[in-house]
Amino acid sequence: MQSRLSPNLRCLTDYLIFLLIIFFIAQSLLKFLEFDTFILRHIGFSSSGLSSGFIWTTATYAFLHEGPFHLLFNILGIHFISRNVEETLHRDRYILLFLTSVTFGSILWFFFNSHNGFLIGTSAFVMASLTLFCLQKPNTPITFLLFFVLPVSLKPKYILYGVLGLEIYGFVFSELQNTGNIAHTAHLGGMLAGFAQSSSLFNSLSLPKLSFRLFNDKNGVKKKSHTTKEYTINHELPSDLEIQVDKILDKINEKGFGCLTDEEKALLEKAKSLFNSKQN
């Protein structure tokens, strides 16, 4: 049986970026055909849409963008920030982060902008990803290019403090004064979702999971079957190594690849190398 132990845990981020581009193309075509009001009303978030029963718009607004630069900014944030967050989360938790961030963002925006047009954009999810990343590794210095030229090293917690301060300032002196078109309340709602998911109380919650089990014909004992597409068991491995790999894969299915220790990662690489040598 062929084995594939190399995880591909970034696909959800790639799928999201692809969906954002597809939605933007469709949105641009409909705008060209003068149907932009229709798509804003039925996918974008607004008080009028909510009063019409368009509950789904509390999340779908995230797939629409004002223009190419708005889209590009969010895609860059998702690519560089959310992608790293996905590596540390189980797939279900990553999806939940997206849903809670855009929902918190739309609800908080609604409280202060119930009569101000439409809310669109994925910025709430970017802010949630940034918040969660900074809270996961608050004291691990990261280096980035300031203005794409000057290398600067900062601890993530200071980046988080700075972004939070800018968003609060923008909310008080811009959004509340109706002098700008940036939805700072949606950003703050996304940051709140990131903070909530980083808390120990949230992590202690047991989310419902779907699993499939097969019966052993001989003794009637249930045997757990692996249903993820990213991992399969190689039955040509030594039995003791296969048992250890089996336990590691169970751990990945339960908590995600980021929960593995260095020893467990090394064991996966050893099993992969052993299988490849047998194939050759």
What are the helix (H) ranges across the chain? 11-32, 36-42, 47-51, 57-60, 68-77, 83-88, 91-112, 123-136, 156-170, 184-198, 200-203, 239-255, 262-279
Structural domain harbouring 184? 11-203
Same domain, 94 and 171: yes
Q: Is residue 190 part of a domain?
A: yes
Q: Is residue 142 part of a domain?
A: yes
Question: How many CA atoms does the CB half-sphere of 27 hold within 13 Å?
Answer: 25
Nearest-angstrom CA–CA distance, 258 and 94: 12
Backbone angles phi, psi at 119, to 5 degrees: -110, 125
Q: Is the Cβ–Cβ distance between 188 and 171 less than 8 Å? A: yes
Domain count, the chain: 2
Same domain, 224 and 120: no
Q: Is the Cβ–Cβ distance between 199 and 191 less than 8 Å? A: no
Same domain, 142 and 231: no
Mark which of 203, 226, 251 sits at the end of a domain.
203
- Three-class secondary structure of residue 153 per DSSP: strand
Q: Structure pTM?
A: 0.70
Long-range contacts of 68-77 (CB under 8 A, 24+ apart): 68/24, 70/121, 71/20, 71/21, 71/24, 73/123, 74/20, 74/121, 74/122, 74/123, 74/126, 75/17, 75/20, 75/21, 77/123, 77/126, 77/129, 77/130
Same domain, 198 and 157: yes
Q: Is residue 59 part of a domain?
A: yes
Q: Is residue 49 part of a domain?
A: yes
Same domain, 113 and 40: yes
Nearest-angstrom CA–CA distance, 29 and 31: 5
Q: Is the Cβ–Cβ distance between 245 and 268 less than 8 Å? A: yes
Tens-binned pLDDT, residue by residue, of the chain (280 aa): 333 434 444 489 999 999 999 999 999 998 888 787 888 899 999 998 998 999 999 999 999 999 999 999 999 999 999 999 998 888 899 999 999 999 999 999 999 987 778 999 999 999 999 999 999 988 888 877 666 667 777 899 999 999 999 999 999 999 998 888 899 999 999 999 999 998 765 655 555 554 444 444 444 444 444 444 444 444 444 556 677 777 777 767 666 666 667 777 777 777 776 665 554 4
Q: Is residue 1 part of a domain?
A: no
Identify which of 258, 120, 117, 109 has the alpha carbon closest to the alpha carbon of residue 192: 109
Mark which of 176, 203, 230 sits at the end of a domain.
203
Which amino acid does the sequence have at 95? I
Q: Is the Cβ–Cβ distance between 233 and 62 less than 8 Å? A: no
Q: Is residue 246 part of a domain?
A: yes
Same domain, 195 and 217: no
Same domain, 90 and 155: yes
